[in-house]
Every structure is written in C-alpha cells, then in structure tokens.
Amino acid sequence: MKLTIISHTPHYKNNGLIFGWGPTVREINHLRSVFDKIYHVAPLYKGVHPDSFIKYDNQNIKFIPIMQYGGPSFKKKIDIVLTFPSNLFTIHKVCKNTDWIQFRSPTSIGLYVLPYLKFFNKKKYWVKYAGNWNQKKPPISYFLQKIWLKYIAKETKVTVNGKWEKQRKHIYSFENPCFSKNELNKANFIKKTKIYSEKVKICFVGTLEKGKGAHLLLDALEMSKQNHMIQKVYIVGDGIDKGKIKSSAKKLVGFDVKVTGSLSREKLDQIYSKCHILILPSKSEGFPKVIAEAISFGCVPIVTNVGSIGQYINETNGVVLKDRSSYELEKAINFLLSDRSRIRELAQNSCKIAQKFSFEQYNEKIKKLILNL
C-alpha cells in the first residue's frame, strides 16, 4: 500500500539532503512497517536545519515540498491564501497515486485541505488531530477544523489525544508515539540505575515561548530557597523567547542553568538520562511526546492539566499543578525535593504509562482501527 501524509512539519534541504523535524520523521520512518511507500507532503524552508531535525531512513519515503504558509504576522497569514493554488495542486497530484491519505491537523491549510479530502478526493483517508481536542479557546482556524471533523467529516476516522465525554463513533483515542520498544527497554534500564538521593537535575523540553512555560520555571527557581538541593537545570528548545530565557537564566543567582537550544534525539536522551524531574507548565497541549520520553528515563513530570495530560499523569506518577503559575510550580518542586523516596516511587510508577507510547503499539492500532487489517 502507498500512503500520502499531508502535514505542516517544516523541512530543510542542506547539501542535497532533506531534513524534517525529528519526532515526526521518526514516526514516519516506523510507519514503513505498515506501508510499502510513503509520500510526505509538507513545507520546505530555506536555511540550515536545527539539530532536532533528521533524515528519513528509507528510500521508499519520499518528501514532496509545498510552499511555506502561515505565521503570526498579517503578511504570513495572507500567504495562506497566496500559496493555496500551488499547494493544493501539488497535494491533488500526489493523492491521485496513493491508496491511503493521512492529514495531520490542526494547521491553517486544513481550512481548504479538509474540504478537498471530503468533496474532491476519492481515496481513503484519516485525520490525525495532534493538538488539544478539548481546548477551551482555540485559534479560529483550529476551532473550525474541530467542528468540521466532529460534525461534517463523519465518513472518515479521526484520531485524537485522550478520551472525551460524548466522543463520536468516528473519533478514536490514540497515543502519540515517540520511541520503539527497544528504545524503551534501554531507557528503563537507565531508570533502574538512577540515584534519586543526590542533588537533583531538572529539565524543561519544549518551544521557548510563553505558551510552554519555560519562563515560569525560571520565576519559580528565583522564588525557591532550595538551590542547595538542585545541581543543574537544563532548558532545551528554541523559539522566539530564547534570548529572553537566556538573559533571565544568567541573572538567576545560586542555580546552574544551561539553555541548550534544540538538540538531536541522542543528546536529548542524554539529558533525560541525567535528570530526575521534567517541568512542562504548558498553556495548551494534546499530549506532548516529551512527557512520555522523559518518564521512560525516570524523570518525574511536573505538568499542567491541559489536553489529555491529566488522563495519564496523576498523583501516583507525577505532579499536576493546581494552576499554571510560578507559585504553584515552586511549591511542586519543593514538594518533590522534600521527599526523595517519593521521587523514586513516582518515577517507577510511570513505567506503565510509558509503554503506551511505542511505535509498535501505534502501528498495530492503525492496522486494526484505521485500515481494518
């Protein structure tokens, strides 16, 4: 079978090679166990790719570029309309020669790709909604796509993060995969050898913008009087607030904070291996892969109860903040530091959750629930 994936995942071309965002490319690489050939239609950007980007590992996965679209500025939003004819033509041409289509939503081109898939496409398709399905105040384009998928596109199957009240029959709950079973076993071995009685290391992994909350971590550390119990703090990621985060980290007295920028998966795993606590006070999420990645290495998550996070993380395997504030975050950090045996207990309990996020389990669900194989 041939699969066409349509997504907003950025790609770069360097030295004749194509690089895409690591987590998405890894997922697609593993989909080769289900499909014989995969075409990935996504935007191509200029410049040098970040360290978190990787190559596809199989010649039967082919990247098909479309024009860049969307962004925060008015001009970028106009580009959605200007690139519409060219991008839809490319999408249509690729979809004609495939057996299945997966559209990865929400993204601004969903405003015309979803109607195209319903009314002008004859091939089987499903939609992976990777955002927060239960978001209270989503951007207008996300809101419209959710309404479309929920009430209009009932002929297709939609996969979402988490399980929701009054979930319709064509909407399926799927975990967002992030590692192979072999990688999980290696991470679990490191978890078993990790020492929780020493000074702790903390990490934040995510985009450096206010919605993800790295600034709340720095504010919480500034309020904390537990610097003698924290050996190192890693802030991993890039974004529009990277300069501000670096500046704030330098001013923080008594803490060793390293802002690493984007990292390769190998280097990110090294951070997880060292750390005891993951901080992710997000404003909105579906279910971020970094939580599953971190808990597989024995990092206890301190998170906000947004998206489906609270369906997996609770008082038995992590700390869910009562509200999204630096004050609550500081309390949560102090709570874990005050009882080291609790950190170890929470880390060990999270193992059962991590098992749900393997590529192998994800692919089996696709074959059974989507493809009916």
Q: How many domains does the chain have?
A: 2
Please indicate, yes or no, whether residues 213 and 297 belong to a single structural domain of this protein: yes
pLDDT band at 3 (very low <50, low <70, confident <90, very high): very high
Which pLDDT band, with edges at 50, 70 and 90, does 133 fall under? very high
DSSP bridge partners of 39? 4, 62
Say whether 304 sits in a helix, a strand or coil. strand
Q: What's the confidence (pLDDT) of residue 77?
A: 75
| Residue 201 banded pLDDT, cuts 50, 70, 90 | very high
Supply the range of the domain harboring residue 119: 2-177+358-370
Task: Enter the tokens of residue 217.
Answer: 């971590």
State whether 297 and 322 are in the same domain.
yes
Residues 186 and 143 placed together within one structural domain of the fold: no
Residues 162 and 311: beta-carbon distance below 8 Å: yes
What local confidence, expressed as pLDDT, does residue 352 receive? 82
Tell which residue, 136, 106, 60, 73, has the closest CA to residue 307: 136
pLDDT of residue 76: 73
d(CA 324, CA 220): 11
Is the model more confident about 71 or about 106? 106
Contact 326, 223 (CB under 8 A): yes
| Residues 144, 213 within the same domain | no
CATH code for the domain in which residue 165 is found: 3.40.50.2000
Which token pair is 214?
Answer: 């790295």
And the tokens for 314? Answer: 């609770």
In terms of domains, do 193 and 339 share one? yes
Q: What's the mean per-residue pLDDT of the chain?
A: 95
Cα–Cα distance, 155 to 173 (Å, whole number): 17
> What pairs with residue 2 in β-bridges?
37
Q: What is the mean pLDDT of residues 264-278?
A: 97
Express as a percent the part of the chain with pLDDT over 90.
92
Cα distance between residue 107 and residue 142, in whole Å: 7
Do residue 301 and residue 279 come from a single domain?
A: yes
pTM exceeds cut of 0.85: yes
| pLDDT value of residue 80 | 86
Based on the domain organization, do 323 and 244 belong to the same domain?
yes
- pLDDT, average across residues 175-189: 96
Percentage of the chain exceeding pLDDT 70: 99
Coil/strand/helix, residue 366: helix
